[in-house]
């Protein structure tokens, strides 16, 4: 079985919202990432990916988002050998001032352009690739 994880590429005014993951996190502690988390076992439920993403974004940084659009999916194995399916969604910022709500999960919150992200330390290659894919989704929404 896989752990199912969702992430939100949140966009506002030419910048993207990132967090620095807590060093306490089981996977990728201390690294920059999009905001998200694991899908809980909720039995029969519609829109479980989208609902999980809304919940995780609110729990971690206190922001509301809208217009979720699929970006991509991938799989990976955590440092502890757990298999994960990761789904990234493009999200438009709706409201709220992003801030750290749980130091066990998040150490910092940043609005960054793509260029600023690439200059930061502790940026995994998969985050840069996911951001490029999110930018393509954003561009397709603007042109349609």
CA–CA separation, 127 and 45 (whole Å): 29
> Strand (E) positions, 13-97?
15-21, 32-33, 35-38, 64-77, 83-95
What is the mean pLDDT of the segment spanning 12-23? 91
pLDDT at position 143 = 64
pLDDT for 79 equals 80
Give residue-wise pLDDT tens across range 82-134: 999 999 999 999 999 999 998 888 999 999 999 999 888 768 899 999 999 99
CATH superfamily assigned to domain 3-143: Nucleoside Triphosphate Pyrophosphohydrolase (3.90.79.10)
User: Please, which pLDDT band fits residue 29 given cuts at 50, 70 and 90?
Assistant: low
Question: Is pLDDT of 144 > 60?
Answer: no
* Residue 140 vs residues 4, 16, 27, 39, 77: alpha-carbon distances, Å: 26, 17, 32, 28, 31
Q: Name the pTM for this structure.
A: 0.92
Q: Where are the domains of the chain?
A: 3-143
Higher pLDDT among residues 126 and 79, named by residue: 126
Question: What percent of the chain is predicted at pLDDT more than 90?
Answer: 71
Tell me the average pLDDT across 48-77.
96
**pLDDT computed for residue 121 by the predictor:** 76
Look over the chain and give the mean of its residue pLDDT values, rounded to a whole number: 91
């Amino acid at each position: 079985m896989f752990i199912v994880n969702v992430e939100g590429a949140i966009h506002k005014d030419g910048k993207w919202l990132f967090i620095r993951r807590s060093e306490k996190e089981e996977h990728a502690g201390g690294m920059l990432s999009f905001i998200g988390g694991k899908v809980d076992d909720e039995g029969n439920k519609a829109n479980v990916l989208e609902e999980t993403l809304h919940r995780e974004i609110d729990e971690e940084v206190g922001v509301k988002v809208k217009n979720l659009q699929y970006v991509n999916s991938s799989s990976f194995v955590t440092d502890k050998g757990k298999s994960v399916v990761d789904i990234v969604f493009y999200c438009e910022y709706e409201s709220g001032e992003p801030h750290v709500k749980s130091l066990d999960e998040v150490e910092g919150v940043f609005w960054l352009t793509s260029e600023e992200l690439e200059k930061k330390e502790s940026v995994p290659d998969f985050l840069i690739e996911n951001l490029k894919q999110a930018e393509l989704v954003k561009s397709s929404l603007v042109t349609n």
